[in-house]
Amino acid sequence: MEFTQTSAARSRAGSPRDVKAGLLKEEFRGRGRAAADGVLLLWSTDAIDLVNRAADEGVPILRITCVAPAGGDPSREAAVEHRADYTREVCDGHGCWEAAEAFVRRRGELGLLFRIELGDDPLEIV
C-alpha cells in the first residue's frame, strides 16, 4: 500500500474521499513491513485480506506491485517486475477486487511482498 503525494495531501486536509482507505491502511500497518520509503508491504495472505476488506468497504484497488523481500532468493528477481494497474477500470467505476485477489493468489507461492495502492472511497460495487 502506498501513499501517493495526492492522497497524503488529502489526508492532511481531511478529505472525506479517502477516509475509509486511510482507516484500512492503518488497520493493516501492523501486519506488514515498511519498505525503505515507508510504504507498507504485505505477505500474500495479508494482501488478500486487505483486498477483501477494501471490497467490504467499497474502496477500489488502483495498483499492486510485487516486491522481493530484502536478502531474498536472487532467482526471484524477474518476479519483482510483476505489477497490476487497475486505474482505468477504477475510473470506469469498478473496484477490481476480484482481479486484485486473483493477481495476489497467482503469485502467493513466490514468497513476494505486495504493495497495494488503494483508491478514493466509497465506490459502489459495479
pLDDT tens for residues 36-46? 788 899 999 99
- Looking up cell 470506469 gives 92
> Is 99 strand, coil or helix?
helix
- Looking up cell 500497518 gives 29
pLDDT per residue over 78-121, tens digit each? 444 589 999 999 988 899 999 999 999 999 998 899 999 999 86
Domain membership of residue 72 (yes or no) is yes
Question: C-alpha cell of 7?
Answer: 492522497
Question: C-alpha cell of 32?
Answer: 506488514
pLDDT per residue over 60-75, tens digit each? 999 999 988 875 554 4
Supply the range of the domain harboring residue 58.
5-118
CATH code, domain with 40: 3.30.190
Domain membership of residue 13 (yes or no) is yes
Q: What is the count of structural domains for the chain?
A: 1
The pTM of this model reads 0.77
